[in-house]
Structure 1
Amino acid sequence: MRTVFDGHNDVLSKLWAAGDRTGAAFFNGTDGDLDLAKCRAGGFAGGFFAVWVPGDPATAPDPMATYRAFEPVDPVMARQVTLEMAAILHRMSADRPDAIRLCRSAADIEAARTAGAIAALLHIEGCEGIGPDLDELYLYHAAGLRSLGPVWSRDNIFGHGVPFDFPASPDTGPGLTAAGQQLLSACNRLRILFDLSHLNEAGFWDVAKLTDAPLVATHSAAHALTPATRNLTDRQLDAIAESKGLVGLNFGVAFLREDGVKTADTGPEVMLRHIDHLIARLGEGGVALGSDFDGTMIPRFIGSAAGLPRLTQAMEQAGYGADLIARLCWGNWLDVLRRTIG
């Protein structure tokens, strides 16, 4: 069974929404994609654990709609929720270091793997919980934050997130704000990975111009194959390749299928088609996995983290060599993290 390091999951949001502030359900079993038993069954040995602030359910669009735009969230509420979700991961790591460890570096990730614990990298997806003075950024960095995406698919003080749409371009509005540029500069100084997933195309090019760090999209796919706003154009992929960056393949079916339909009846060949395209643009060292477990509809053949071996088996059957599979599942993430967070 292959060991997997994954670019994105939303299990902290799921635990928080259930009122589980200690993460007990992660250890005892959940009805979602990710818990300790499923991770161990599928070889899930680490990944980016995202903090994501939900919006008002009353204003949320139909989750099955093709076009979905989201209202901004209240920053006061967002600061409180961000704190509470980050605290869940800290409690889980403190209470069960044998099972999960909060990691601050690539070396920490490797040490957790050696010890048989899940390596958890704290990530913030959409920075509504960080104010324009960036005070919270420095506090969260001290508390282990090593990756963030400035926006989710809604606007905030830092930039403009893409609405969900198909077929459509990711060029949906203006780029980073002045506050967003200051956030990027601070992340570069602190060695916090700046995630390009959910950022619109103008924001992507602003980041590309303003940073020397590898360009990374933790959970995205290829726009050339599935023209959804959340996916990356070939021109964007070429810029990521030039920076020696990385794309983690999103498992969300609506971002993978040619027809953009949101159905779990999506086979491995659809995922492999995206992996092949990403490798063609980024090289074998520029592609990894970014499942979005507990945050999107994933293919039924995978089902949960326990089903990850079915994806790697499909890679083997498609003729992927053992070394390439190892890089896609673990090595490429560790390589880019050594060059970003240290």
Structure 2
Amino acid sequence: MTKTKVGIIFGGKSAEHEVSLQSAKNIVEAMDRHKYDIVLIGIDKEGKWHVNDPSSYLINADDPKQIKLNRSNENVAIVPGATRNQFIHQSTYDQLDQLDVVFPIVHGTLGEDGSLQGMLRLANLPFVGPSVIGSSVCMDKDVAKRLLKEAGINVAKGLSFTRAKKHKIDYAEAVEYLGTPMFIKPANQGSSVGVSKVSTKGEFDKAIEDAFLYDRKLIIEENLNGREIECSVLGNDEPKASKLGEILPQTDFYSYESKYIDEKGAELAIPADLSDEDTKRMQRVAVEAFEALQCEGMARVDFFLTEDGEIYVNEVNTLPGFTKISMYPKLWEISGLPYKDLINRLIELALERYQQERNLKSTV
């Protein structure tokens, strides 16, 4: 049987670099080696691409706080427009073996914001997850929530400001409109990076400065009191929703450390203790949000469910974590799709979309 050659691209310059390393590790360990040949391409924090050996691509692989990319001496570049052998070794200009499909698991900036997806499209390579528009729209929380509202989906009330409009940010006006506490977030970050929950002007001013360290645009949102529910969505033209899970944070809110480093930072109720009616409503909204934001392949939809039964979409994550405590694969596991089969299905969906795109006319 001819094996499918899968390139796994991981790491990256974003604040979620270490999360990506953990995700890559889990994906590599789960992949069927009888079905796939794996090519590992690690991106370091300076943005250089390394071809890595599967036996030694990580340092401190089992410690989420100390995990690091083991940089190789084999750096690669990509050739846009090539129809085959799109990667070449920088030192020798030799071609890397042809990849059949790419599994990009670069979380955050330059990984799930459409940048990497656009480059892979230019390189004529099929890849897992949403394409350019779905990735870029979902990464920008301001734009995503505007589109969700247009689709009739509830989102938290909020304000957005670019760095150029920073002088217009007024604490008193924010309090009047949103109340306290409120959340301040970089518009284009994930995994709670740069997010602050604030109740005083001092906290507010510091949180504004912190958020602008990570992005040129921020959003200020009301605090929604409700249960934190998550749903995994899988598919292209006919997406399906998984069973639901609930986040039970043990800290003030579900922080970066709670999500990816501290296994005791939050309890996960899988499946969530919900009525059949609420479960079906949220699964329906998850698929509606997935389609409204032009997603393909996969996404994780995060909700708030308030005491009066209102459903609010908080975020749609197009490259969700695949760490050992990540919700996306766990929810499919309890929905009857084991981790290994989930990887297979994601690759099938990538190849399916690629074939559809190849069949489109490119000339008049």
Q: TM-score, normalised by structure 1?
A: 0.28
Which structure dedicates a bigger proportion of its chain to strand? 2
Larger C-alpha radius of gyration, 1 or 2? 2
Which structure dedicates a bigger proportion of its chain to helix? 1
Structure number with the bigger relative contact order (C-alpha 8 A, sep ≥ 6) is: 1
